[in-house]
């Protein structure tokens, strides 16, 4: 390791004192959960999983994950029932999350804890739900990782955190902890990842076992060593895959600590942002809607679905969306869908192209459809052996389209409810608010985290 990596590792590796503190909490909670299992006569056992169990966790950045394992003949609805009861009794500030079946997340002392129900299986072919594999993942890493590689995993995780690519959850779409671990097993250490992973091709398949496996259409494929039919890298988006490869190339050329601990964004002044928004040919328009009270795993897929739907309908009405983003204001609980588009209005009319004259039936239908239509300002007429008609546009401004049509498109279950209740379309100067300063600074600076001054 170079001096930078040694410095980073010293900062992120749990000290003996920290380990003792964590172990006291784990042992204490483990006994309480087991007591609840016994008192309720639940035919299940308890196992610790995740980075804590594998000793690949980062200091001051880890969750405690307990899995309650039930026999495979146990009713599925009762899995969630019992784990929910136990979780709500033992944890504080609980929330219900979902991974095929509900589980409880909350706090014990100052640590975030998840209590997840699953079926007890010996191999992946017996799985009844996706989470059943997780204890097998933990066992696999414990058996195959060396003490030195545990530090390599920590270093790799912190690198991914620094470049914004750590986490398979929907808001990040990056690398899971388990993917980090098996990548270290594959490449041997962090140095080899830096050296070789930058050359990974789109859809390249990696595997720790020499077995035939299915193909997957994702930027990176890493076959799960405990389940040959699963791609561990399925959550990785194309955007994060590109950022990852670029960061590796840049770090390889010029290693520095900013890749691991990037500097915070220094928010621009409102005046500086205003000058950027005054671009001659472009304007920014946004839809603001209240954030529904749901967990991030449910929220982010709906936000991305809504964004795609808004872009789609804009294009259908001939508006060019030059760039699109979303921003969640967690203080005021708003979501902003922000679009860059051209300043000028669309022409009053548009040409609608019909069928070639040689297609008699289609040409006849086209004529019948448009000859008495009130939208028509010219035609139907013949141009270059095709029928055409000039019609009035319904919307010349993107704002008008969004204000009129937004409730008629698919936006995701919870977001649709918020749009029905209230939403607001806002433009340039109305977007000059203090709570959007960080968003605009990052947007206009257009710097990767490791490049911040």
The per-residue pLDDT for range 30-55, each reduced to its tens digit, is 999 999 999 999 999 999 999 999 99
Q: Is position 100 within any domain?
A: yes
Q: Is the domain of 130 the same as that of 84?
A: yes
Please indicate, yes or no, if residue 2 is contained in any of the structural domains.
Answer: no
Residue 4 lies in a domain: no
> Residue 372 belongs to a domain with what CATH number?
3.30.70
Per residue in 271-294, pLDDT (tens digit) is: 999 999 887 789 999 999 999 988
In a domain, 3, yes or no: no
Do residue 104 and residue 49 come from a single domain? yes
Cβ burial, residue 57 (10 Å; 0-12/13-18/19+): buried
| CATH code at position 322 | 3.30.70.590
Inter-axis angle of helices 3-12 and 147-163, nearest 10: 90
| Residue 1 scores a pLDDT above 80 | no
Whether 162 maps to a domain, the answer reads yes
User: Are 91 and 186 in a shared domain?
Assistant: no
Q: Which two tokens stand for residue 207?
A: 């595997």
Half-sphere exposure of 91 (CA within 13 A, CB side): 27
- The confidence score (pLDDT) of residue 99 equals 62
70 and 122 together in one domain: yes
In this structure, are 81 and 124 located in the same domain?
Answer: yes
Q: Are 138 and 50 in contact (CB under 8 A)?
A: yes
pLDDT tens for 88-133 read 999 999 988 776 667 898 999 989 999 999 999 999 889 888 899 9
pTM of the predicted model, to two decimals? 0.89
Domains in the chain, number: 4
Q: Which range marks the domain in which residue 208 is found? A: 145-259
pLDDT of residue 100: 65
Q: 80 and 181 share a domain?
A: no
Domain co-membership, 385 together with 406: no
pLDDT at position 137, please?
A: 96
362 with 341, same domain: the answer is no
User: Quick one: 40 and 133 in the same domain?
Assistant: yes
Q: Which long-range contacts (C-beta less than 8 Å, at least 24 apart) are formed by 315-321?
A: 317/393, 317/394, 317/395, 317/401, 318/346, 318/350, 318/393, 319/346, 319/398, 319/401
- What percentage of the chain exceeds 90 in pLDDT? 72
pLDDT score for 283: 92
Residue 266 has a pLDDT of: 94
| Residues 34, 168 within the same domain | no
Q: Is the pLDDT of residue 214 over 70?
A: yes
Assess whether pLDDT exceeds 70 at residue 302. Answer: yes
In a domain, 5, yes or no: no
Average pLDDT score over residue span 345-369: 89
Q: Do 180 and 233 have their domain in common? A: yes
- The CATH number of residue 106's host domain is 3.30.460.10
In this structure, the answer to whether residues 276 and 341 fall within a common structural domain is yes
Contacts of 258 (CB under 8 A, 6+ apart): 162, 449, 450, 451, 452
Alpha-carbon gap, residue 165 to 160, rounded angstroms: 5
Flag whether 409 is in a domain. Answer: yes
If pLDDT is split at 50, 70 and 90, which confidence band does 419 have?
Answer: confident
């Amino acid at each position: 390791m170079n001096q930078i990596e040694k410095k980073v590792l010293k900062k992120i590796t749990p000290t003996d004192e920290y380990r003792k503190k964590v172990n006291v909490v784990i042992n204490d909670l483990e006994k309480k959960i087991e007591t609840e299992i016994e008192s309720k006569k639940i035919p299940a056992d308890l196992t610790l999983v995740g980075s804590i169990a594998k000793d690949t966790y980062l200091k001051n950045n880890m969750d405690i994950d307990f899995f309650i394992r039930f026999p495979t003949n146990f009713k599925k609805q009762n899995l969630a029932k019992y784990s929910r009861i136990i979780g709500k009794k033992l944890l504080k500030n609980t929330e219900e999350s979902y991974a095929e079946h509900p589980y409880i997340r909350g706090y014990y002392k100052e640590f975030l804890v998840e209590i997840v129900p699953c079926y007890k299986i010996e191999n992946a072919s017996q799985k009844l739900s996706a989470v059943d594999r997780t204890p097998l993942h933990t066992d696999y890493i414990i058996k195959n990782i060396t003490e030195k590689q545990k530090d390599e995993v920590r270093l790799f995780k912190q690198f991914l955190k620094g470049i914004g690519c750590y986490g398979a959850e929907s808001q990040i779409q990056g690398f899971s902890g388990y993917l980090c671990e098996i990548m270290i097993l594959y490449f041997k250490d962090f140095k080899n990842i830096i050296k070789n992973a930058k050359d990974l091709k789109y859809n390249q398949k990696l595997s720790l076992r020499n077995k035939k496996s299915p193909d997957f259409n994702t930027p990176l494929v890493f076959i799960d060593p405990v389940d040959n039919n699963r791609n561990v890298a399925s959550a990785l988006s194309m955007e994060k895959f590109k950022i990852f490869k670029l960061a590796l190339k840049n770090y390889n050329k010029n290693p520095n600590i900013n890749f691991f601990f990037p500097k915070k964004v220094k928010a621009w002044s409102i005046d500086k942002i205003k000058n950027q928004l005054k671009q001659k040919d472009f304007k920014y328009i946004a839809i603001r809607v209240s954030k529904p009270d749901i967990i991030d795993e449910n929220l982010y897929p709906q936000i991305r679905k809504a964004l795609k739907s808004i872009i789609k309908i804009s294009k259908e009405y001939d508006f060019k969306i030059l760039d699109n983003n979303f921003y969640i204001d967690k203080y005021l609980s708003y979501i902003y869908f922000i679009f860059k588009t051209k300043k000028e209005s669309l022409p009053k009319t548009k040409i609608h192209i019909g069928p070639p004259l040689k297609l008699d039936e289609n040409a006849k239908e086209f004529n019948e459809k448009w000859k008495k239509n009130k939208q028509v300002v010219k035609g139907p007429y013949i141009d270059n052996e095709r029928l055409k008609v000039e019609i009035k546009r319904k919307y010349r401004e993107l704002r008008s389209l969004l204000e009129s049509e937004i409730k008629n498109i698919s936006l995701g279950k919870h977001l649709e409810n918020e749009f029905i209740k209230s939403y607001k379309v806002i433009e340039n100067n109305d977007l000059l608010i203090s709570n959007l300063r960080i968003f605009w600074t990052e947007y206009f600076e257009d710097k990767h985290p490791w490049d911040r001054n």
